Chain A
């Protein structure tokens, strides 16, 4: 097979358990975002825009929706004669095979895939982060520094440092200390989970890591510290743009709301760095004479007869007359019935909110700290139901985390 300078490996097997009902039936990278995307669109589009034509996607948890979404990679221009996108789920072996036991183990098990292309470098990414990044600049940095490993780093708020791997560097960007989720950080430069490794070096370390029975086979916890301990040349590559790991319902909601500011940090309208996705076949959206839309993103096929403010509507959403949607994310094909009021909520794909329901917070009563309410995929909320602040309604129609009442809907 023709050799490639580099190949990308996207870790897309995560469950995203803190996203609750939103990941009941799909892996975290397949979670919808921003009116038309799924989280994995960002890493796939970044690869495509950075000129990477060979991408392995490592899947494990509930992969069906993700697999059918990615297909042969047409939307990202990754249907290539030499290379392209490859779905790499765990597989059986003569000795029985095993699941991917950690991020490093997933790459280790697919070393054979990478070796097919004899690459000099391997780019390892997470499939569930929201950002626009030119990896080719990072590769250039890696090559110029003559590094063994380069880790992309983003300044996070000091409050959040304990969630991340924190790097302390010298003025040249050379990492002098690496702390995984420190309690008392010296720095707020966090690892973005974007790594470039020189493949020969990484392969050796993955083999060693695999022998180590005590290892969790994780890049941040095991492989990176091991490399660091052995004094390899490891660089931090500073990245200044918008970057978000949406691990929770709150952060997913926030990331959607981030798009609604007048000059959003994440520019989705840049024709030179498009975020590609599977595009639904629908006519443009329609705003009726009775419709009102303000500070919102609206996708194709929506029909808006009611009021929409500060919200993100995915394709084919219907807002009936008299319905009112505020500070919410309404996913594709959902319907908000006449007279319903929705505030600070995430409404899952194809959910139906029947007439005169009230979903979520009324800020006036609960203040801006009110919790986000979630209605799961394909859930129908019967007419006149009140879904309280912070409640989560799953596919069985059960209210979770509600202040009172069960078995509603």
Chain B
């Protein structure tokens, strides 16, 4: 897939995850014990043989840049091609109002024009899955479609729903007949992965056509409005996927990782998921550690009880502490005899000795980054 430029579009709806995205873009939200959301799409692209990836990053770059740096962990520190961070220009105009992702694409149009690839794969970071895009790309070329949209057909399952999903209507012949961005939650249907394959030429045309008409939304105005103008093909994905658009989604997708099949599909299916390494020592279980049904990252020191939970790197669980149905991000410290249930602790949170906190299963409590409770 050397002829494809990967574009990760970080213009994502962060409204329902404010507690976690105040200081970072959605793509940099930690996930699965040691990853950040962007690792999944980035690794998929690299595992598919894409050598050039542009990241359309809106504001709050620090966390993201700290994570990606030269792209070495994803093998993207290349002389030719590699990783490109594409910051938005509009923030420099003090009185400018955010209009939409296409304005940002337009700002960076020189980059797209200059790159040598003839095709682009535009994808987002908040839908996670493990997929080699080769087949989808082949099918795109063979079907002579203008655009190929990847989707996953979801059957209703208890507790599982999708917010802000793109619903795709695909005919029996594989051509897309309609598409809409749902405002509420849906439980089933052909849900778009918000991943599109098209020629670079078409992308440039969409950008210019839209911006010239004062339209700035790639999905709604660039694609949906033109649904009958272009030949749009649907490409079904059959593996595990999760969309992370809200705290509830985040919590649910995290808890799904406790399922072995989900982990297998998400972490191993068509290639490993790469992330920045931290050189932590292995997790250390002490005398009174009691851990069950949990994922534990390196660098943790555990002296207490952990049940149905995820511990990120370097979490410290002191004696008598009890963590249940919770997610503790990097460097969390849970004090002696503290008890947490249905809680998400963002990075560097300290829960002092004896504190008891609990959220509800359908409304988890989120403790923001760096808080001492």
Contacts and interface: CB of A to CB of B under 8 A. Distances in A.
Interface of A: 34-36, 74-75, 262, 268-269, 274-277, 279, 281-289, 291-300, 303, 308, 312-314
B273 interface: yes
B133 to A, nearest CB: 19
Contacts of A303: 260
Interface stretch (B19-27, B136-144, B236-244, B283-291): B283-291
A286 B286 contact: no
Nearest to A279: B277
Contacts of A279: 277, 279
Contacts of A286: 258, 260, 263, 294-296
B267 interface: yes
Nearest to B298: A300
Nearest to A35: B282
Interface of B is mostly: loop
A250 B110 CA distance: 64
B318 interface: no
8 contacts: A34-B282, A75-B277, A281-B275, A283-B267, A284-B32, A284-B33, A297-B283, A300-B282
Given A283-B267, A284-B33, A289-B293, A295 B281 contact: no
Interface of B: 32-35, 72, 257-258, 260, 263, 267, 272-275, 277, 279-287, 289-299, 301, 310-312, 314
A285 B295 contact: yes
Given A286-B294, A289-B292, A275 B282 contact: no
B34 A283 contact: yes
B295 A288 contact: no
Contacts of B301: 269
A35 B281 contact: yes
Contacts of B292: 287-289, 291
B271 to A, nearest CB: 9
B298 A36 contact: yes
Contacts of B258: 286
Nearest to B331: A271
Contacts of B296: 284-287, 298
Most buried by A among B260, B274, B294: B294
Given A291-B291, A300-B297, A277 B283 contact: no
Contacts of B281: 34-36, 268-269, 275, 297
Nearest to A313: B282
Contacts of A275: 279, 281
Nearest to A286: B295
A284 B297 contact: yes
Contacts of A298: 282-283, 285, 296
